């Protein structure tokens, strides 16, 4: 019997999502409207953010936030080298120069002191990134920003529902962005939320995303803007998904713990350290092993889709000439040894145990061969 391939991503979609989208179609309101208003209100209750706007995706959310902050062109923004490319590309398109720093080898997030050491007279902003479903040291990094007069933009793409010392990720700095791409804990398909602390900044975000005007019903444009709006269809989906978040968290935590318990005792392997100050809603099951290429090949051959960890930003071809050369050995190690396993609701306990058996068998073979 052929084994069905275990996919890396599988959104949790059911009847509530279908009914929410059908309701949009029935009321014939497809652009931002009542579903968007309800989703905005519910996200405000979840995050505690006083000012919430939407963006078409997380990348454009970061770009929108940076445009609204209006930082000096050519100034420097400090970004961890271990993150998705969007963190840097949004900065470059906003006219900023990324300065890359290494991350903690255990939590995979950049520590506050790493940000502090990289600050120069040319620095205008800090961008902490919340990685793999747990929060970075956002409170401490935001304090550095306030003390040094620097803007703080949180890339909280993977951190919906995640709190650090009781406060939601993305709400410590001046602005934070959560993504609702299809592989996130909850999804709009594509989409993001941009959260601002200051009402003046929130108004700039609101104007820029709506072509520089207060309302889509007017043709008077107060400032230059673009169209960063989303649809009511997306927001209806997001609202239905938000109701699932407690279930998603419990389901993913149970599966994460099953992976961790089943793989316990393998000396060649280590897992991401969980920060006791942070909530945790697993985004993937990340592991580190010097034998990563062999593990990946064995798992893929067994119809279990894997993902590598992020290719380090300091090695990205498109950034060469735009950033200063820098040595980030931990980012290099995470890419060289890192592997992510699927953790969504479509992964059965049998799938988890089968993946763990393959990993254990592969590593034992290697040990015997050595």
Yes or no: say if 242 and 42 are a contact pair by the CB < 8 Å rule.
Answer: yes
pLDDT given for residue 175 in this prediction: 98
pLDDT given for residue 364 in this prediction: 85
pLDDT given for residue 369 in this prediction: 47
Cα angle 272-276-280, degrees, rounded to a multiple of 5: 60
pTM beyond 0.85: the answer is yes
pLDDT given for residue 323 in this prediction: 97
pLDDT given for residue 2 in this prediction: 65
pLDDT given for residue 366 in this prediction: 54
Cα–Cα dist 286/263, whole Å: 12
Instruction: Give exposure, 89-102, as e/b (b: 16+ Cβ within 10 Å).
Output: bbbbebebbbbbbb
pLDDT given for residue 58 in this prediction: 98
Spans in the chain with pLDDT lower than 70: 1-2, 366-370
Task: Report which DSSP code applies to 2.
Answer: P
| Angle, helices 15-27/232-263, rounded to nearest 10 degrees | 170
């Amino acid at each position: 019997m052929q084994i069905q391939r275990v996919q890396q991503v599988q959104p949790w979609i059911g009847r509530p999502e279908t009914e929410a989208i059908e309701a949009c179609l029935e009321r014939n309101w497809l652009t931002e409207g009542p579903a968007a208003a309800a989703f905005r209100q519910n996200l405000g209750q979840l995050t505690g953010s006083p000012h919430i706007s939407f963006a078409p995706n997380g990348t454009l959310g970061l770009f929108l936030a940076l445009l609204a902050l209006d930082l000096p062109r050519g100034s420097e923004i400090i970004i961890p080298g271990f993150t998705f490319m969007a963190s840097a590309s949004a900065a470059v398109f906003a006219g900023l120069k990324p300065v890359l720093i290494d991350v903690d080898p255990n939590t995979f997030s950049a520590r506050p002191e790493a940000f502090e050491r990289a600050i120069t007279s040319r620095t205008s902003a800090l961008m902490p990134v919340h990685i793999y479903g747990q929060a970075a040291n956002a409170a401490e990094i935001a304090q550095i920003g306030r003390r040094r007069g620097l803007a703080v933009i949180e890339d909280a793409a993977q951190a919906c529902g995640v709190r650090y010392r009781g406060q939601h990720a993305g709400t410590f700095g001046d602005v934070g962005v959560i993504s609702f791409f299809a592989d996130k804990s909850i999804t709009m398909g594509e989409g993001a939320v941009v959260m601002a602390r200051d009402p003046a900044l929130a108004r700039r975000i609101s104007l820029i995303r709506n072509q520089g005007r207060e309302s889509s019903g007017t043709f008077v444009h107060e400032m230059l803007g673009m169209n960063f709006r989303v649809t009511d269809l997306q927001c209806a989906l997001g609202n239905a998904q938000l109701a699932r978040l407690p279930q998603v968290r419990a389901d993913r935590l149970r599966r994460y713990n099953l992976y961790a318990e089943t793989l316990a005792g393998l000396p060649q392997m280590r897992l991401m350290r969980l920060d006791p100050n942070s909530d945790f809603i697993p985004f993937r099951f990340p592991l580190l092993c010097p034998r990563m290429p062999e593990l990946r090949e064995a798992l893929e051959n067994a119809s279990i889709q894997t993902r590598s960890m992020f290719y380090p930003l300091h090695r990205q071809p498109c950034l060469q000439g735009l950033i200063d050369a820098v040595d980030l050995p931990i980012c290099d190690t995470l890419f060289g040894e890192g592997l992510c396993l699927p953790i969504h609701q479509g992964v059965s306990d049998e799938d988890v145990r089968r993946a763990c058996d393959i990993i254990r068998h592969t590593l034992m073979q290697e040990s015997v061969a050595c």
